[in-house]
């Protein structure tokens, strides 16, 4: 009997794996003449100057919103190049290509009349490009999600696929979702700093949401809808609804040519308005997935990271965050590693500092964490499974993997010289059973969100961090001993930055 056909998302994952044999064929030639513009512009609209709101807020609400949007996706550095300068932002982006766009939908506030607003990072302003009551349509797109009942504002994050596909071709869909996961991490944390509670909605009717924002579905798409509950308004203290809904699982596909896989996957992950596959968020897992027999176990419990008065240190970390470009190779202490893990995976330890004890993810019960340790004082070198409920590291394989990590990360020195490399993984079959093809988005969004927490914790501790979206997928499992069912989603390197 032949095996049942695999889902399109799984097929996509297999087809977009990097492999030493085929990577050259996947091509790396860039057509500089068609280099995408990282900024979206509108011909018409009314500008709301958010930069002025940073200096002297005209109202508490607009001042907080200006700060929130700056922390979400604002520009934080300018790099000279031979042509136009390149701008870096609070959220990292694979290859600095910034496929994400940020919109704001207002239900109607004295400072922000009802309508659609586009966030323009370069001047740090909002452009109102559509006036009118669109809230009802937004609610309809989310199947009347409870978080939109009493809120007045929602951020919508979209992606312009070509910006990333220009360089990464079909594999770009992975990086786009990872990028947006980082950006959602900023929204989550910046909301706490500025008295909002962000609710992530990843299950929505795509066609409706795209139409609401006047997106061109051939080139861009809605990726997350984020109602912002204003915590200064008691009415808006709402009980959360589901973050994720299931899509269908597509198994009837044939011979999708290279170059069309990304679009085919985006299509397959969509939810129809008339879907009958909707389901509530399942209960969170209550136990760690792996417990290897006879493995050594090392507890990781730690004091929480201190984010300073009123989370001022968190705001600074978001604004100053940069991806580390080179590590010295020096060790981290076990205490430093434990701090990083504590902030990333134990949000309940940060309630007293004003952060959310259970921030929204799409389905964290499906994402696992493995850590290749090359230089952590007090820890044997090797690969470990991080058990978040038990808060311990469980050793999978003993060895110093520096040389192998260099290879696994496509020859990037960051992999070799990092003190530790965190791999997020998931069982695609299991995830697909639960959420259909849309699981593929959720897994990468959540992995990016965790990546952002790791990055910010590293900033606060004056350590280095950088994401790595390109790796030899299958070899990561083989070499590090990560179970074969675990598809590698993302790598985050951690270590001591090299000083020049």
- Provide the binding-site residues for ligand FMN, judged by CB under 6 A: 88, 92-96, 175, 178-179, 182, 322-323, 412, 414, 466-470
Q: What angle do CA 273, 8, 408 make, to 5 degrees?
A: 130
To the nearest whole angstrom, how small is the minimum distance from the Cβ of residue 95 to ligand FMN? 6
Taking CB atoms, the residue at the shortest distance from ligand FMN is 92
To the nearest whole angstrom, how small is the minimum distance from the Cβ of residue 178 to ligand FMN? 4
Cα gap 368→447, rounded to integer Å: 9
Q: Quick one: 69 or 94, whose CB is closer to ligand FMN?
A: 94
The DSSP string of 169-231 is GGGHHHHHHHHHHHHHHHHHHHHHHTTEEE--B----HHHHHHHTT--TTTEEEEEEEEEEET
Q: What are phi and psi of 396, to 5 degrees?
A: -100, -45
Q: Quick one: 167 or 289, whose CB is closer to ligand FMN?
A: 167
End-to-end CA distance of the chain: 61
Identify the bridge partners of residue 153 per DSSP, sorted by sequence position.
106, 228
Q: Quick one: 126 or 414, whose CB is closer to ligand FMN?
A: 414
Decide: 346 and 457 in contact? Cβ < 8 Å.
Answer: no
Q: Quick one: 61 or 444, whose CB is closer to ligand FMN?
A: 444
Question: Token digits for 349?
Answer: 């330890």
Q: Quick one: 117 or 440, whose CB is closer to ligand FMN?
A: 440
To the nearest whole angstrom, how small is the minimum distance from the Cβ of residue 71 to ligand FMN? 13
Decide: 48 and 112 in contact? Cβ < 8 Å.
Answer: yes
Residue 419 Cα to chain centre, angstroms: 23
Cβ within 8 Å of residue 458, ≥6 positions away: 340, 464, 465, 494
To the nearest whole angstrom, how small is the minimum distance from the Cβ of residue 456 to ligand FMN? 12
Q: Quick one: 57 or 329, whose CB is closer to ligand FMN?
A: 329
To the nearest whole angstrom, how small is the minimum distance from the Cβ of residue 163 to ligand FMN? 13
Q: Quick one: 178 or 245, whose CB is closer to ligand FMN?
A: 178
Q: Quick one: 395 or 466, whose CB is closer to ligand FMN?
A: 466
Neighbour-count burial of 306, counting CB atoms closer than 10 A to its CB (0-12 exposed, 13-18 middle, 19+ buried): exposed
Cβ within 8 Å of residue 447, ≥6 positions away: 178, 181, 367, 424, 426, 489, 490
Sign, Cα dihedral of 221, 236, 274, 362: positive
Residue 267 Cα to chain centre, angstroms: 20
To the nearest whole angstrom, how small is the minimum distance from the Cβ of residue 39 to ligand FMN? 15
Q: How many CA atoms lie within 13 A of 381 on its CB side?
A: 12
To the nearest whole angstrom, how small is the minimum distance from the Cβ of residue 276 to ligand FMN? 34
To the nearest whole angstrom, how small is the minimum distance from the Cβ of residue 452 to ligand FMN? 8
To the nearest whole angstrom, how small is the minimum distance from the Cβ of residue 228 to ligand FMN? 23
Question: Token digits for 152?
Answer: 């007045």
Q: Quick one: 432 or 469, whose CB is closer to ligand FMN?
A: 469
């Amino acid at each position: 009997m032949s095996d049942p056909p695999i889902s399109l998302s799984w097929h996509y994952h297999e087809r977009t794996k990097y492999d030493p044999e085929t990577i050259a064929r996947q091509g790396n030639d860039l057509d500089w003449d068609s280099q995408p513009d990282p900024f979206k512009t509108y011909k018409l609209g009314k500008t709301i100057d958010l930069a002025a709101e940073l200096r002297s807020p005209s109202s508490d609400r607009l001042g907080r919103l200006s700060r929130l949007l700056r922390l979400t996706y604002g520009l934080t550095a300018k790099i000279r190049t031979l042509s136009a300068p390149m701008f870096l932002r609070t959220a990292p982006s694979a290859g600095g290509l910034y496929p994400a766009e940020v919109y704001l939908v207002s239900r109607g506030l004295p400072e922000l009349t009802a309508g659609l607003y586009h966030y323009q990072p370069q001047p740090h302003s909002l452009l109102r490009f559509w006036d009118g009551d669109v809230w009802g349509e937004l609610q309809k797109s989310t199947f009347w999600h409870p978080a939109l009942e009493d809120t007045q504002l929602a951020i919508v994050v979209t992606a312009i696929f070509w910006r990333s596909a220009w360089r990464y071709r079909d594999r770009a869909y992975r990086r786009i979702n990872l990028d947006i996961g980082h950006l959602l991490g900023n929204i989550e944390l910046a909301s706490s700093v500025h008295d909002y509670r962000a609710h992530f909605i990843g299950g929505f009717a795509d066609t409706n949401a795209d139409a609401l924002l006047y997106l061109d579905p051939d080139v861009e798409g809605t990726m997350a809808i984020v109602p912002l509950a204003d915590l200064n308004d008691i009415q808006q203290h709402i009980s959360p609804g589901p973050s994720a809904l299931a899509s269908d699982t597509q198994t009837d596909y044939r011979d999708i040519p290279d170059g069309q896989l990304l679009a085919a996957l985006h299509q397959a992950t969509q939810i129809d308005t008339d879907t009958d596959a909707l389901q509530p968020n399942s209960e969170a897992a209550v136990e760690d997935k792996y417990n290897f027999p006879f493995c050594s176990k090392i507890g990781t419990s730690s004091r929480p990271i201190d984010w300073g008065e009123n989370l001022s240190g968190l705001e600074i970390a978001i604004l100053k965050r940069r991806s580390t470009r080179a590590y010295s190779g020096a060790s981290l202490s076990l205490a430093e590693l434990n701090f990083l893990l504590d902030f990333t995976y134990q949000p309940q330890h940060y309630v007293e500092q004003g952060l959310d004890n259970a921030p929204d993810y799409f389905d964290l019960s499906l994402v696992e964490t493995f850590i290749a340790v090359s230089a952590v004082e007090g820890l044997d070198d090797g690969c470990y499974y991080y058990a978040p409920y038990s808060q311990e590291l469980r050793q999978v394989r003993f060895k110093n993997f520096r040389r192998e990590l260099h290879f696994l990360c496509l020859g990037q020195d960051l992999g070799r010289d990092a003190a530790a490399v965190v791999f997020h993984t998931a069982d695609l079959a299991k995830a697909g059973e639960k959420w259909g093809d849309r699981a593929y988005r959720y897994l990468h969004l959540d992995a990016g969100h965790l990546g952002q927490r790791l990055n910010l914790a590293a900033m606060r501790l004056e350590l280095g961090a950088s994401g790595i979206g390109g790796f030899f997928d299958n070899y990561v499992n083989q070499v590090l001993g990560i179970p074969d069912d675990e598809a590698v989603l993302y790598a985050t390197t951690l270590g001591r930055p090299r000083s020049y």
